[in-house]
Structure 1
Amino acid sequence: MKSSGPLYTLFAGLALGLVMLSLNATTGEGASPSGGAPAATAIPSPAPTRTTAGPSTGPSPSKPAAAKTSYAGRTDDDTAAVSVSVRDDKAVAYFCDGRSKESWLKGDVEDDGSMKLSGKHGAELTGTLADERIRGTVEIEDRPYAFTARKAVKPSGLYRATTEVRGAEIDGGWIVLPDGRQVGIVTRDDEPSKAPPIDPETGAVTVDGEHVTARPVVP
């Protein structure tokens, strides 16, 4: 009788193979077709977030500065000159006789063009802006001066210089009339006198030997 050892070995190998096939069938669902590691499951990426552009919050364009307009003319009695510088609803005026009497005044301009400006020592200017001219009255030292000041084209207009020259406080005012004439006063430590002429193109003027620059007056 032949030995049965090889048959047992063969049956044992077949049984082991069947067990392995059963295990593969149970656990191999995620295996790749090539028998490698299970394929990674793709995770869908989130949909892009849509943003709605709102109104710009950045700085808005700056408002352009309002243009300044000057007016210059003589009093009705031709003894003095008056100039008014206007920007928006503000005005600065200068009354000057070119010798010793002067006054700086300031105030508001109403929507209808009327204005009432005030200065030191009770000085007052009342007038109305219309048709590119100002018609009104300046009252200085209890005396009224009627005037008409027409729109001035540069270099005509109102100029001022404040500085110190040779230890004295200098305050100079100039009115350049449309015909080129100049009327002005320079006050040295509260002592007024006739002003030297300025160069209306540059504002340059020499006061007591010193070079000074007079600048257009802006409200």
Structure 2
Amino acid sequence: MKRPGPLLTLLAGLVLAAFLLTLNATTGTRSASSSYQEQSPSPAPVRSSQASPTPAPTPSRSGTADADYAGRTDDDAAAIAVSVRGGRAIAYFCDGRTRESWLKGDVEDDGTLRLTGKHGAKLEGTLEDGKGIDGTVEVDGTRHAFAADRAKKPSGLWRATATVRSAKIDGGWIVLKDGSQVGVVTRDGEPSPAPRIDPETGAVTVDGQRLTARPVTP
């Protein structure tokens, strides 16, 4: 019986080596894959499909309602009007003869007003559910309590400015809910009683010249 030749022996060795290499490669791949899977992080917990409750909106405070207010001082010595818009306020105090004052300032969230004007004038009051204002106003060192109801047009605060016969004209009017008017016109800083305006159009004649008064807002 002949023994296999050297060539056959060599071929058998090569086949065996190739088989062993293939086996090792397959085993290593599986081992690496298994190791990677073991080290993979756990999936994130699934969140509940129920959404978190949305916070209820903060209700707006009616005390800061945008509106106009007009009334008289408790001693009936003067009239006062206040216009409120966007957290700001402008007010006018007028006795219809020679005393007047324009005041302005902020309105707090709780409806509190603290307004100031020239020569130390000041107004302190509180908006009452958007229906009116109660407070005090101090002008020329004299303090007056007042109450002003919510005004409906044409009631409220009006103003006209112009130059007439080289004089600077500045007029302010408060139209009350009963239709009465209280106003002062200053000519180059000199005050005097104001003529009536047409509350429907704001038309007014001052020193022979026709002017137009307009509603005042902050």
* TM-score, with length taken from structure 1: 0.69
The 5 A counterparts of 1:150-165 are: 150-165=149-164
The size of the alignment, in residue pairs, is: 154
Secondary structure of the residue aligned to 1:155 is coil
The gaps in structure 1 that reach 5 residues or longer are: 1-66
From 104, 107, 117, the equivalent of 2:105 is 107
From 78, 81, 95, the equivalent of 1:80 is 78
- 1:185 is matched with 184
Give the percent of matched residue pairs that are identical in Structure 1 and Structure 2.
Answer: 69
Q: Which of structure 1's runs of 4+ aligned residues deviate more than 3 A?
A: none
Following superposition, the deviation at residue 88 of structure 1 comes to 1.5
Kindly indicate whether the alpha-carbon contact (under 8 Å) linking 1:185 and 1:195 is maintained by their aligned counterparts in 2: yes
Q: Distance in 2 between matches of 1:176 and 1:68?
A: 18
**CA distance change for structure 1 residues 182 and 162 in 2, over 3 Å: closer, same or farther?**
same
Secondary structure of the residue aligned to 2:119 is helix
Secondary structure of the residue aligned to 1:121 is helix
**CA distance change for structure 1 residues 148 and 205 in 2, over 3 Å: closer, same or farther?**
same
Secondary structure of the residue aligned to 1:138 is strand
Code of the aligned partner of 1:104: W
**Over residues 51-108 of structure 1, what are the superposed CA-to-partner deviations in whole Å (9 max), with x where a residue is unaligned?**
xxxxxxxxxxxxxxxx851100000000100000000200000000000000000000
* TM-score, with length taken from structure 2: 0.69
Kindly indicate whether the alpha-carbon contact (under 8 Å) linking 1:68 and 1:218 is maintained by their aligned counterparts in 2: no
- 1:134 is matched with 133
Q: Distance in 1 between matches of 2:141 and 2:125?
A: 17
- 1:48 is matched with none
The gaps in structure 2 that reach 5 residues or longer are: 1-64
CA RMSD after TM alignment: 1.3
Kindly indicate whether the alpha-carbon contact (under 8 Å) linking 1:117 and 1:126 is maintained by their aligned counterparts in 2: yes
**CA distance change for structure 1 residues 68 and 113 in 2, over 3 Å: closer, same or farther?**
closer
- 1:9 is matched with none
Code of the aligned partner of 2:100: E
Q: Distance in 1 between matches of 2:141 and 2:166?
A: 34
Secondary structure of the residue aligned to 2:135 is strand
